[in-house]
Chains A and B, each alone.
Chain A
Amino acid sequence: MRRVVVTGLGAVSPHGIGVKAFWSGLAAGACAIRPLTVIESEGFRCRIAGEVPETVAGSARRTRADRFAIAATGEALEDAGLGVAERADAALVVGAVGGGMLEAEAWYWAATRGRRSVSLPAVRSVLPCAHADVLAARWGLRGPRHTVVTACSSGAVAVAEAAALIADGVVDVAVAGGVDAITRICFMGFNALKLLDPAPCRPFDRARRGMSIGEGAGFVVLEEAARARARGVRAYAELAGYGMTTDAYHITAPEPEGDGMVRAIRDALGQARETPPAVQYVNAHGTGTPQNDRVEARALERVFGEGAVLLSSTKSMIGHTMAAAGSLEAIATVLALTHGVVPPTANLETPDPEVRFDCVPRAPREALLDCAISNSFGFGGQNVTLLFRRR
């Protein structure tokens, strides 16, 4: 059986550029959700977000989201030490939602108001699939290439898809992850749905009122385990299992008993040939909406039993980074395993008694971790669980 290991990590997040900045922020329990600067927000109830705080260098021809993705994939490739020949055979799977919508919006806004601003090439990049072609060209990735759009779980789906390509023997190496830049449509839409907390989100808190949006890019290099060993590269962790299910219930609301979530978690455990007691830590989808957190906690209780795992939400610190969430949070999970530290749930003052788990409030927790899962539950009931195991 072909096993899949993680050999490279790359991140651009509201904590800054690079994996070091990302982990440093997470381990400190720092909340990076601040007043919006990248788009206008007057007239909206929520005016904050997790923005990438620095300018990511790159060509002006490339969209903001492209520049995030280029930086993150570049870091992951270098981290894994993949040379030209390996890159030429590597598969690429990208999870995306907004694509180049930020720039397309700027053009559309200006055009509607009778002004011309942004030039054409950026508008052509609006589709989510544009990232993959840009990344492949930039880094010489010439293996199988595809783009998945599964709303909030896109980044996690991308990682699972890449693992499947390796497990099936289609390729030995893959680059996978998700990317999203803040867009007006995303910001306005979540505001209109009344799903945003005007203050930084507080997942699993009794007083939680909604999510915070964020942006970034998280990419990993995955390799077939024996090949990685032969190559002498260190493996952060094994991606031992993944589950992908669909609620088929409602376009925005999760199925109330968390059936689809439960199946995704159990499928990941089953594929990894692990039982629930093997898992010590769950990196939650944990958006901070009253509904998600309640249903997710219910699903976790059904699978693991009350109090059986440590639970924390990365979104408490960086917001919901949309298509990047699943992969950035996968990276957070891998780093938690690597460092033996569970990043906390920031802003958690009064844990919700209905969430019957230790949600690691506000301060990081040292813990001996062998096995952890990362959940991503997207709009439209798209549920994904990734299971990582230390090597």
Chain B
Amino acid sequence: MEPKEVLDELKTILVSRLKFDPRRAAETTEATPLPKGVEGSIGLDSLDFIELSIAIEERFGLALDESEDLSAHFASFATLSRFIAEKMPAA
């Protein structure tokens, strides 16, 4: 899967799992930061990140290693889609 397709899937997850308004989700771009407290971010907190990681595991068929510090990958949509695209099993 290309990062662009991954990004679209993430936007779907924003609506279906994280309860974002569809218009707000559509407005996000690769550059949009994710964590709360960062300017221009969509404001995700620790609980949102747990929900997001389960949704990612389900949607993309991955297993995320909780003992690893994954926060750098969850910094923005760009970093996250790249991370997921790299981790996904080859088609």
Contacts and interface: CB of A to CB of B under 8 A. Distances in A.
Interface of A: 192-194, 250-253
Nearest to A210: B66
Given A252-B46, A252-B47, A253-B46, 8 more contacts: A192-B50, A193-B47, A193-B50, A194-B66, A250-B45, A250-B46, A251-B47, A253-B47
A253 B47 CA distance: 8
A194 B67 CA distance: 11
A194 B50 contact: yes
What DSSP secondary structure best describes chain A's contact surface? Answer: loop
Contacts of A250: 45-47
A251 B47 CA distance: 9
A194 B50 CA distance: 8
Interface of B: 45-47, 50, 54, 66
B78 to A, nearest CB: 25
Contacts, number: 14
A290 to B, nearest CB: 11
A56 B47 CA distance: 37
Contacts of A251: 47
A227 to B, nearest CB: 47
Contacts of B47: 193, 250-253
A192 B54 contact: yes
The 5 closest A-B pairs by CB, nearest first: A252-B47, A253-B46, A194-B66, A193-B50, A194-B50
A380 B82 CA distance: 35
Contacts of B45: 250
Contacts of B66: 194
Nearest to B66: A194
A192 B58 CA distance: 12
Contacts of A192: 50, 54
Contacts of B54: 192
Contacts of A253: 46-47
A250 B50 CA distance: 15
